[in-house]
Amino acid sequence: MLNYPVTLTPDSNGTYLVGFPDFPEANSVGENTAEALANAVDALESVLSMYFDERRPVPLPSPSIVGDAVVSLPALGTAKVLLWNEMHTQNMRKADLARRLDVHMPQVDRLFDLTHSSKIEFVEQAAKALGKTLNVSLV
C-alpha cells in the first residue's frame, strides 16, 4: 500500500485543513481529524487522477515519521499507480499497452480510473505485459 504523509492544521473555524507534502495541489478539510483524514483519501484519488490525465508520473510517498498522519491508498489503487509509473518509466502510452494486451482502449482507460473496480487479474496481466510481476502479501 502507498501511505502518503499528510499535514493536519487546525483552522480558525474549528475545522482541520489537510495538506499533502508530496502533492501541493491536493488539499482537503474536515470537521474533526477523522473526517479530515477520510476526506483526504478523496483528495488523494482526485490528484492521482489528475496526474494520470496529464500523463505525469506519480510521486511515491515521502518518508513519514512514526506518529505522523498518513493516508493509505487502497490496494487496487496502489497497484494502478505502480503500473502507471512503470508505463511511464518504459515510455509507454496507454495505446501501446492496449496493443500488448490485445484489448480495446476503453479497457485500458478503466484500468487507470481509480473509481473503477478493475479486476486484479487484469492488473496482473498488464504488469506481465510490462515485464513485471504483481506481488500481493499480508503483513
78-103 pLDDT, tens per residue? Answer: 999 999 999 999 999 999 999 999 99
Residue whose grid cell is 490528484:
47
Cell of 62: 515521502
Is residue 10 included in any domain, yes or no? yes
Does 68 lie in the same domain as 79? Answer: no
Does 60 lie in the same domain as 22? Answer: yes
pLDDT digits (tens, 9 = 90+) for 43-82: 999 999 999 999 999 999 999 887 789 999 999 999 999 9
Residue 26 has pLDDT above 90, yes or no: yes
Is residue 64 included in any domain, yes or no? yes
Position 12: which residue type? Answer: S
How much is the pLDDT for 131?
97
How much is the pLDDT for 28?
95
How much is the pLDDT for 67?
79
d(CA 122, CA 105): 14
Is residue 138 included in any domain, yes or no? no
pLDDT digits (tens, 9 = 90+) for 115-124: 999 999 999 9
3-state secondary structure of 11: coil
How much is the pLDDT for 95?
97
User: pLDDT confidence of 138, banded at 50, 70, 90?
Assistant: confident
Domain boundary among 27, 51, 72: 72
Is residue 13 included in any domain, yes or no? yes
How much is the pLDDT for 137?
85
Give the mean model confidence (pLDDT) for residues 99-116. Answer: 96
Does 114 lie in the same domain as 86? Answer: yes
Is residue 134 included in any domain, yes or no? no
Instruction: Count up the domains in the chain and report the number.
Output: 2
Is residue 85 included in any domain, yes or no? yes
d(CA 126, CA 70): 28
User: Whose CA is closest to 16, among 5, 24, 4, 7?
Assistant: 7
Does 41 lie in the same domain as 92? Answer: no
Does 100 lie in the same domain as 61? Answer: no
Domain coverage including residue 47: 3-72
